[in-house]
Amino acid sequence: MTDTPKKLIIDIATGTQTHVDLTPEEIAEREAFAAKVAEEEVERLAAEEAAKAAAESAKTKLSTLGLTAEEIAALSK
């Protein structure tokens, strides 16, 4: 048994299914894509955290100016 990833090829004319080992190039492409997706997810999470921090900072500043929690909530809708 091999640990090489496989792809499924389906011949729609005959309905036959064949599992074929991925080529080294396909494996490298797949790994590069997975790394890119992981990097984009890290960037997305960082941007989300930055937005949350900015919102909290804005609420704190508005509170310092004397706005009530209800007024701040009304502004953030």
Q: What is the pLDDT of residue 3?
A: 87
pLDDT band at residue 2, thresholds of 50, 70 and 90? low
Cβ–Cβ < 8 Å for 6, 21: yes
Average pLDDT over residues 68-77: 88
Tell me: pLDDT of 48 over 70: yes
3-class SS of residue 55: helix
- Which candidate, 24, 13, 17, 19, places its Cα nearest to that of 1? 19
Q: Percentage of residues in the chain with pLDDT exceeding 90?
A: 91
- Which candidate, 40, 37, 5, 33, places its Cα nearest to that of 21? 5
The 8-class DSSP code of residue 66 comes to T
